[in-house]
Every structure is written in structure tokens, then in C-alpha cells.
A and B are shown apart, each in its own frame.
Chain A
Amino acid sequence: MSYQVNEKGYYGDFGGAFIPEMLYPNVEELRSRYLDIMQEESFQKEFRQLLKDYVGRPTPLYYAKRFSEKYNTKVYLKREDLCHTGAHKVNNTIGQILMAKRLGKNRIIAETGAGQHGVATATVCALMGIECVVYMGEIDIKRQAPNVARMKMLGATVVPAISGSRTLKDATNEAIRDWINNPVNTHYIIGSVVGPHPYPDMVARFQSVISEEVKKQLQEKEGRENPDFVVACVGGGSNAAGIYYHYLDQEEVGIIAVEAAGEGVLTGKSAATSALGREGIIHGSKTLLMQTDDGQITEPYSISAGLDYPGVGPMHANLFRTGRGEFISITDTEAMAAGLELCKLEGIIPAIETAHALAIFETRKFREDDVVVVNLSGRGDKDLNTYIEHFNL
């Protein structure tokens, strides 16, 4: 059994392309060409070169000694926080901007929630001299002013999404509407492993450089390619897809997905999609999503803006349904405490999204000789205000 996408664009029961006909030519063009383009030697060369010289890859695999001692197991941190722009998001935007160029597109659109993907997209557009329009919920624009300024400095136009709940899901709707209105010259850089096929697979492939590096690095450090567990936080799930990718079909490697419980799974203020979601369609993909009995998509909540997406990528929905992945949810309070703890024990300020993944060690016990790799997906600079408020710093 494989946990990769099949030739029809499905992960088990999940995935597909539930898109209006207006998007068909664009999505079909991408679907029919993405694998060939990615396999071109010139593409690989340019992609690898930029990841090395511009993004700063490979990122270190760091043995967190004091953290490991505290939890009595062996914890490695994959330092995606050291990527240019501060998170793993740029691996995907580098790949997609090169894809867009080969498809002959001269205008880029993107959605963003907290602004990390928006910044990563604006960055690669500046790098390539391509026009960039980023859709961002009106409410998020107010909450994330520094990232809005960064995008503007990088030359992007930031358009407020004023429909619906005016957050990430609505920014995604607006980006899709833009693509409907501009079907010829525009490429849509989706920021996570969500959306219609081939996006979940394409984004996972661009992010798979993470687990590709882990295999080599772990071989050097532990004399084996496979850890016992890989751990990542999951909103849409792109950093998780990246660190799971080369381990998906190696069943001896445990896969742990950490979702945001918000104030608690059953409080009505949560983003724990696996616990609260049902199968449905969101942004062109059949997956698990949070919705009313009547099929209206509901607004999730998490203290971390990067995790409050009402759906989850189809790869992850399948990992959940098949039991291949172990899903754990972590509250705001637990995540904040874990974030602060990593600062004190290892001198690393993690993004609050990432802090969710670190928080599982309080309750999820591992054996002393287990090798556990946590994807340290982003750094916490963007979250300083939240840390300040939460801890009265």
C-alpha cells in the first residue's frame, strides 16, 4: 500500500480536482506538465542551486541535547527556521516560481494567512522580477502588519479579502477568483499541500527536500537513514508533507501529526481538523474539513495563524483515515509553554506553529533510544507580539 498520490490525483479517498470549469485549462495544463518539468535536468539544476545559494540549504539537523535529556529520548530538530525568510515555505515558492516561468506565466498570485507564504512568494517574485499579487484576509492584514510591510517592501501588491470571515480561507477564495478572471498569464502559487490535484503532490515534492536531507544527515549522525518517528505540526500540512515524504511508505517510521486544539478541541474555538472535520470539498480538494451539518465551512481558531485552516491536505486526511499517522492535538497554552521551553533549553525561538509539535513530549512518551525528528518549520520572530502578550514579557 502506498501513501503517495495515485495517477488520478487521489490519496486513498481524498484529493481529486473539484474545480469550476473556468479553472480547468489552468489546472489541466499544470497537471499534464508538472512532472515532466520537474524532471528536466535544467529545472533540477536551477532549483537545487537556488535552494543552496539563496535559501541556505541544506538546513542543519541538530541534536537537541538538553531538550532530549529533559524528555529522556533522542530528539533531532530539522532547522527549517534557518531558511531564508524564516520558514520552510520558501522551498515551495522557489519551485513554483521556476514552474511558472517554464509555463510562460508572467504574473503570480498567492494567498496568505499569517503572511509567511505571502512573504516567501513576494521574495521569489522579486528575485525573478515577476509581478506579484497576494490576497490576505482583511482581519489578518490588521493582525500581521510587519509581514504586510515586508511584502510591500518586496514589491508585492497586497489585496485585502473582504468576503466571508476575511481570513485565510477567504483569501484563498479571492486568489481562486483572481485566477478565474486571469486564466492566461497568471500562475497561482498555493502555499500548502491543499487545493486541486496536482497542487498537493507538487507542493509535497518541492517540500520533500526536507526528508531527503534528513535521510542523509541521520545516516551521518546515527548510522541509519530512518528515525523511529517524524513529527510535524499540521495546518494545511506542507512542512509535515516535507518531512514525511520519503518515509511515507516506510512503515517502520512512525508519523506524528500535531494539530492546533486552540482553546480545546471541544470548546468551539479549535482548528483540530482530524478530530472535528468530516469528509467534504474545500478549495477544490476532497478532504477532511470543519463544517456545519449543512456543509457550510466553519472558521477555525488557533493562537497560531499558520494553523487555523479549516481543512487539511488530502495526504494527511488519508494518513489519518488509514491510521498510518498518529494525530495529536495541542492547545494554545501547551504550545506557548513548549515554545518558551525550547528558548530556555536550546536557545531557539520557534514559530508558534512549530511549538505545537514540540509540545507533544509532555504527554507522548518515547523510549530512551527512540530517534525522534521534529520539523522545526519556522522561527518565532514573527510571533514576538503573541509571546509578549502571552507571557507579559
Chain B
Amino acid sequence: MNRIKQKLQEDPSKKLLSIYFTAGYPQPEDTVTILEELQKSGVDMVEIGLPFSDPLADGPVIQRSSEAALKNGMTTNKLFAQLKNIRETVQIPLLIMGYFNPILQFGVEKFCQKCKEVGIDGLIIPDLPVEEYELQYKDIFQQYDLLPVFLITPQTSEERIRQIDQISEGFIYMVSSAAVTGGTAGFGQLQKDYFSRVSKMGLKNPLIVGFGIKDRETFSAATEKTKGAIIGSAFIKHLTENGTENIQDFIRKARD
């Protein structure tokens, strides 16, 4: 069974913490260390960011980490090489999150095949819309047992949320507010209403919230009505300041 599905079913009451980081940052060869540390810290799931020159849904923190990773010489091939033996030490679900162009250049089928080989469980491609996915890529994803994860936002209509729910497998990535990644405003009534409104829709996929989650307070606010939350920019800031040191401290502070 796909590790994401398994994780989502394990303990119905448990709120999941997922972490995003950019592969190849801060140092080109940090990927495996970061993954192992995250697993040790009790993180439930990880999104490995494939760096891109033009990350148009990302705020400054992830932009800069992508830029630095590319300067470090990070490539798609290098990422797969780093992940070659990852399943010997890391058992939690792993997803790759990346923009579509590098995947398209690598070859979508070849990319999916490589993902399967190294043990990736799902893909988040923010600029691959559900329509294009269904039309051209659904069969390939299924062939390699990769769960497609799609985003919804506070502006997404109920009808479209239901459409996305039908196509999604695993979970729905719930973007917390109308903003690029790395927002620091915290959650107000608007967000709480949105979390509550969507959670009452009776969707088949659980909701995991991302964008603007940075600490214990935002994590618990985001997961009150949902299955889990994703920390990205705040974790990257931690890596910028500490390298791969003290990852367990960061996670403990975010969750317990």
C-alpha cells in the first residue's frame, strides 16, 4: 500500500505534521541528512522541493532557497541520485513538490518511473492543473503508484473543490490564505471559517493545510478542523540559520 494512504489511515485522531524543504539547500548534499533527521524528529511526511528558476507561487524564503540550491548545482538527476538508497533509512511517506517545467524536460514518464524506483509516494506540482493532469498524465501517475496532490484556496468554489476531491488521492493540499508561501500574518476568523467550511463538506480526501504554518500556535489552529499541516518557509529559515543542526529542536517546538 502507498505509504501516504497508510499514514493517513493509521491513527484517525492524530494530526499529521509534514515538512517542506528545498533539495540542495543549504548544502548540495544535505538532502539525506535532513530526511533522516526529520524522521527521527517524528515528522509524519516530507515534501522534497525540486528547485526551479521561476517559482511563481513562492514567497522570498523559498525563492532564495531555490536560487541557492541551483547555484549549488542541484539538478533533477542529482536529486534522484541522492535519494537512491533513501528507503534503507527513511520509512515515512515522501513526496516531491516541484514546478512542471523541470519535470516536463526530464520526461514525465521517466520522472515518475524514477520516483517509483527511489520510493517516492506522491507528487505536488502546483502549476499542473487538474484538467491537464486528467487529460494527459493520470495513467502514468497511476502506473507508478504516485498519488497526485492538488491545491485548493479560500477562493476555490465548492463545485471545484468537489471536482478536485474526485481526482485527488491521498489528501488535498489546503492553501491557508490568498498568498504566496511564507506568509507571517497568522490565522484570523476568515481562515478559521474557511477551514471549518471545507471540513464540513464531507470530502473523501483528508485536508492538510499549508502556507503560513510556522509554529505551535499556527499548527494547532490549522489542524483543529483538518488532518494535518505543512511547515515550509519557517523550516527553511531554520536551515538557513542552523544548517542541519538542531532539526529535532525545531520540530519539537512546532508540535508539542
**Residues of A bordering B, CB below 8 Å:** 16-22, 24-25, 163-164, 169-170, 173, 176-177, 180-184, 278-284, 291, 293-298
Chain A residues with CB under 8 Å of B101's CB are: 280-282, 291, 295, 297
Encode contact with A along B2-44: 1 for CB under 8 Å, 0 otherwise. 0000000000000000000000000000000000000000000
B132:A18 contact, CB within 8 angstroms: yes
**A24 contact from B55, B100, B128, B156, Cβ within 8 A:** B156
A294:B102 contact, CB within 8 angstroms: yes
Q: A24-B129, A163-B63, A295-B76 are in contact. Are A278 and B105 (CB under 8 A)?
A: yes
Chain B residues with CB under 8 Å of A176's CB are: 56
Q: Find the B residue at minimum CB distance from A169.
A: B54
B156:A21 contact, CB within 8 angstroms: yes
Q: Find the A residue at minimum CB distance from B59.
A: A177
Q: In the complex, how many angstroms separate the beta carbon of A86 from the nearest chain B beta carbon?
A: 30
Q: In the complex, how many angstroms separate the beta carbon of A363 from the nearest chain B beta carbon?
A: 33
B156:A19 contact, CB within 8 angstroms: no
Q: Does B127 contact A (CB under 8 A)?
A: yes
Q: Does B160 contact A (CB under 8 A)?
A: yes
Chain A residues with CB under 8 Å of B70's CB are: 296
Q: How many A-B residue pairs have CB under 8 A?
A: 108
Q: In the complex, how many angstroms separate the beta carbon of A16 from the nearest chain B beta carbon?
A: 7
A22:B153 contact, CB within 8 angstroms: yes
A164:B129 contact, CB within 8 angstroms: no
Q: A16-B132, A180-B180, A294-B76 are in contact. Are A22 and B175 (CB under 8 A)?
A: yes
Task: Tell me how many residues of B have a C-beta within 8 Å of chain A.
Answer: 40
B75:A25 contact, CB within 8 angstroms: no
Within 8 A of A (CB), among B163-195: 164, 175, 178-180
Q: Find the A residue at minimum CB distance from B63.
A: A163
Q: Find the A residue at minimum CB distance from B55.
A: A173
A19 to B131, CA, bound (A): 11
**Residues of B bordering A, CB below 8 Å:** 52-57, 59-60, 63, 67, 70, 75-77, 99-106, 126-129, 132, 150-153, 155-157, 160, 164, 175, 178-180
A297 to B127, CA, bound (A): 15
A278 to B150, CA, bound (A): 27
B127:A284 contact, CB within 8 angstroms: yes
B178:A21 contact, CB within 8 angstroms: no
A21:B132 contact, CB within 8 angstroms: no
Question: B52, B77, B101, B106: which has the most chain A beta carbons within 10 Å?
Answer: B101
A304 to B140, CA, bound (A): 43
A176 to B105, CA, bound (A): 23
**A184 contact from B52, B155, B180, Cβ within 8 A:** B155
Q: In the complex, how many angstroms separate the beta carbon of B99 from the nearest chain A beta carbon?
A: 8
Q: A164-B67, A291-B101, A295-B102 are in contact. Are A180 and B178 (CB under 8 A)?
A: yes
B75:A24 contact, CB within 8 angstroms: no
Q: A163-B63, A164-B67, A281-B104 are in contact. Are A17 and B129 (CB under 8 A)?
A: yes
**A296 contact from B100, B102, B179, Cβ within 8 A:** B102
A84 to B50, CA, bound (A): 45
Question: A16, A21, A176, A278: which has the most chain B beta carbons within 10 Å?
Answer: A21
A20:B100 contact, CB within 8 angstroms: no
Q: Find the A residue at minimum CB distance from B126.
A: A20
A177 to B179, CA, bound (A): 8
A22 to B56, CA, bound (A): 11
Q: In the complex, how many angstroms separate the beta carbon of A109 from the nearest chain B beta carbon?
A: 14
Chain B residues with CB under 8 Å of A169's CB are: 54
**A20 contact from B54, B75, B105, B151, Cβ within 8 A:** B151
A297 to B77, CA, bound (A): 17
Q: In the complex, how many angstroms separate the beta carbon of B50 from the nearest chain A beta carbon?
A: 9
A281:B100 contact, CB within 8 angstroms: yes
**Other 18 A-B pairs with CB < 8 A, given A22-B153, A22-B155, A281-B99:** A18-B127, A20-B127, A21-B156, A21-B175, A24-B160, A25-B157, A163-B67, A173-B54, A173-B56, A180-B57, A184-B155, A280-B105, A283-B54, A294-B76, A294-B105, A295-B76, A295-B104, A295-B106
